Amino acid sequence: MDLIPRARWGARAWREPSGSIRYAGPRKGVKVHYLGTPYSSRPHAQCAAYVRQLQASHMDGNGWSDIGYSLLVCEHGSVFEGRGLQRRNSANGNTSLNEQHYAVCALHGTNGTPGDALLRGLRDAIDHCRTRGPAGSEIKGHRDGHPTACPGDALYAWVRADAPRPGGSPSPPTEQPKEGRPMDRYYEKSKPLTLKPNVWTTVTWDRFHVQGTGWTEKKAEQTLLKGAHAFVLGVGFRVGGLERGDEVQVRIARNHRKAGEDWKRAKSWPIGSPVHAGGRGHFVHTWPGMLPGSDDNRLVVDLLNVTDRDLTVDELVASLLAWPA
Ligand SMILES: [Zn+2]
Ligand SMILES: [Zn+2]
């Protein structure tokens, strides 16, 4: 699959809407869309500009927080990351429909016939949603459950045939870990976290995602990584109820345990608080580092609320790449 992340097609930053569009709950599957207007074939070098134009019309014309689709596929078979897999789309008709299915849009119009490269790319996008979302096995059209002609009769017939890969070849196992590839994990905390003033709170994670296996509910646990590894850890979280001048800190820390004793803080890498606006703060930071030793060392994330009242963290994610060292 040729997946083109937002940064590579030059996406604008998305706006925070009044209600969170972050939604990583279970999806039943994927809904396929088309553009609904005539579309003229163009060289692949112009596809990114077209996706940017679509994003601009959704944000500036429709007033949406971002491009409406989860993923978009061009006629050359490349898959452009729209809202991606961790956020609710706004293309399926209403909030409930948007949460039930990912929205994958073909850069295909009311004219012409969908070609093999486009269908192959759409199938790649569907498989990507299933393995990385994850999503269930439903493949539907926008018109299922919503009054619209989308995705057009040709694509809808393909959808109804369960979206066969042109040539009949099986789905390529693009998401299988390869030799020498790092461990690739994504963690979330599903419930809000209350930060008491002036104590470091260690985050407990309860959902995680391992490359290629989909989301798994897991027993709540603080440890992100154990033993000797080189790592790159990114942490993002959102705090509500902030006032101007408030401070929140985040650090990652290595806890060490001697045989028979409790974990002790061995080393920490703190950063200060970035700016915030509108009572909500978004904090994102990435640390490269080394975790030494064996299973007696573990990596955790701590948050500190430097105000005189409780604060609530309503989103917390961590993404980790790690190589044995
Ligand atoms: Zn549609
Ligand atoms: Zn293209």
Question: Pseudo-torsion of CA 228, 230, 236, 242, nearest 10°?
Answer: 70
311 CA → ligand 2 middle, Å:
46
Q: Residue range 252-270: average pLDDT? A: 65
Which-ligand-closest: CA of 69?
Answer: 1
- Among residues of the chain, what percentage have pLDDT more than 90? 49
pLDDT of residue 305: 86
Q: Residue range 41-62: average pLDDT? A: 96
Three-state SS string over 146-209 comes to: CCCCCCCHHHHHHHHCCCCCHHHCCCCCCCCCCCCCCEEEEEEECCCEEECECCEEECCEEEEE
pLDDT of residue 246: 76
Each residue of 153-176: pLDDT tens digit? 999 999 999 999 987 654 444 444
The region, left, alpha or beta by phi > 0 then psi within -120 to 50, assigned to residue 317 is: beta
265 CA → ligand 1 middle, Å:
52
pLDDT grade, residue 47 (50/70/90)? very high
Which-ligand-closest: CA of 77?
Answer: 2
Which among 100-109, 128-137, 263-272 has the top mean pLDDT?
A: 100-109
78 CA → ligand 2 middle, Å:
6
35 CA → ligand 1 middle, Å:
7
93 CA → ligand 1 middle, Å:
8
- Among residues of the chain, what percentage have pLDDT more than 70? 84
Stated length of the chain: 325
Alpha-carbon distance of 139 to 7, in angstroms, equals 28
CB atoms within 10 A of CB 227: 16
Which-ligand-closest: CA of 106?
Answer: 1
pLDDT of residue 24: 73
- Pick the closest to residue 121 from 176, 167, 76 (CA basis): 76
Which-ligand-closest: CA of 90?
Answer: 1
Alpha-carbon distance of 311 to 242, in angstroms, equals 8
Tally the C-alpha atoms within 13 A of residue 286's C-alpha that lie toward its C-beta: 7
What is the phi/psi pair of residue 168, to 5°? 75, 5
Q: Which residues surround ligand 1, an ion (CB under 5 A)?
A: 33, 142, 150
